[in-house]
Structure 1
C-alpha cells in the first residue's frame, strides 16, 4: 500500500510540472522579459498578427499588394508568399526594399495565428505555452522552433535595410530555455 501511495504521489508531482524554487521562478520570469522583447520586435510581430494582413518594415505598415494570410498561412491562392519571398535574402545590390527571404516564408496558419502584437507580458506568456494556440508544441518543441527554425533565425539576419532582433540569438535561446525549464512561469503568476 505504501508503495502504491508513494507512486501515486510521485506521479501527481510530475503531472504538476517541474518543482522550482522561488529564486528559479524569479529568474525565469526575468528571462521572459527577454523573450517578450524578441517576440514584440517587428521581425517577429509583423507576421504574428491578429488579422490576416501581415505588416512590413520596422514601422509595421500594412503589407503592400493586398497580401493576406491565406488558408494555410502561405498567402492567398494565386499570390503565395513565395511569389516574392525567396529561400534566402537577395543580395544587398537589389536595394533596401527588396523582399527578404528565408526557407518556408509564411505566416502562422489561421488556426494557430499566435498573434501577439501589443499583448501584455502575461497574456503573451500564456499564449506561447498554450498548446491550443501554439500548434500543439510542448516546451521542447518550442525551444527547437526558436533555436533552429530557419525562418525564425532570419530575424537575426533580415537583410539590407532591416534592423535585426536586438537580442543576440544565443542569449534569446538561453533565456527561453531557462524560462521553459522552470515550467514557463508568467509575469504575475502567484
Structure 2
C-alpha cells in the first residue's frame, strides 16, 4: 500500500513539473539575453586584459558581421541585401556621398522610417532619416573580423575617428540602431544597441585588442 501511494505521489509531482515547464513557469531566464548577445559581465573571468579585449570584440562581431550591418558596408560601393547578401535590386551604387547616383538616389525608395509593403511576401521598405551606405573607410565586406577590428581603430583608415568617436557612433547613431529595428520580414542584428555599445566600450577600456 505504501509503495503504491509513493508511486502515485511521484507521478503527481512529475506531472506537475511537466505542466509547469510546458507553461513556461519554471523556465529560468537565459544569461546571454537579449537574443544571444552576451553582456560585458560574461567576460570578467578572463584575467588577461588582452584576451578579454579580444573576446569582447569577437562578441561585438556578432553584430558587426551580421548581414543587417554588412549589407551597407560593401568594399565596391554596391550595396547588398537580405540575409544572403545578394546584390541590391534594383542595381545601386553609392555615388560620391553614399546616397546613390544622380537620377536614382537612395531616398527614391528609402524614407525616414520603415514603410510596410504588401504582396505575396509581406515585407517592408527599410528607412531612416540618415539612410546611406557606410563611407569607404568603413568598407568591411570580404574582410575577417580581425581585419575589420584593425581598420576601425586606425584613424588613418577609419575617417579620422578616435576610439571615443567610434564608440559614440556605434552606441548612439540612429542609423546603426536601425539594425535592431529593420522592419517586417527581416532578422534584426543580435542583442540591442545598448548592449552592443557596452561591449565596444569595454573593448576600448581593455586596450582595444584585435582578434587574430
Question: Counterparts of 1:75 and 1:99 in 2: how far apart (Å)?
Answer: 16
Q: 1:122 aligns with which of 122, 135, 146?
A: 146
RMSD, matched Cα:
1.9
| Contact kept in structure 2, 1:48 and 1:116, CA below 8 Å | yes
Equivalent in 75, 84, 95 of residue 100 of structure 2: 75
Matched, 1:99 2:111: no
Aligned match for 1:167, one of 191, 200, 203: 191
Report the Cα offset of residue 136 of structure 1. 1.1
Question: Which stretch has the larger CA shift, 149-158 or 50-59?
Answer: 50-59
Compared with structure 1, are the counterparts of its residues 144 and 67 closer, same or farther at alpha carbon in structure 2 (3 Å cutoff)? same
Cα 1:119–1:99 change in 2 (3 A) is: same
Query: Do the aligned partners of 2:116 and 2:125 also contact (CA within 8 Å) in 1?
Result: no
Output the CA distance in 2 between the equivalents of 1:96 and 1:48: 26
Aligned residues: 166
Structure-1-length-normalised TM-score: 0.80
In structure 2, distance between residues paired with 1:47 and 1:96: 22
Unaligned runs of 5+ in 1: 1-20
Contact 1:155 / 1:164 at 8 angstroms: preserved in 2?
A: yes
Partner of 2:165: 141
Q: How far apart are 1:92 and its partner, in Å?
A: 6.6
Q: Does 1:177 align with 2:186?
A: no
Structure 1's consecutive aligned runs of 4 or more residues displaced over 4 angstroms after TM superposition are: 92-95
The normalised TM-score by structure 2 is 0.72
| Larger-Rg structure | 2
Q: Are 1:55 and 1:62, in contact at CA under 8 Å, matched by a contact in 2?
A: yes
The C-alpha deviation readout for 1:51-87, integer Å capped at 9, x for no partner, is: 0210011111100122111011111111111111011
For 2:18, the equivalent position in structure 1 comes to none
Q: Does 1:154 find its partner at 2:178?
A: yes
Deviation at 1:171, TM superposition (A): 2.2
| Cα distance in structure 2, aligned partners of 1:89 and 1:187 | 35
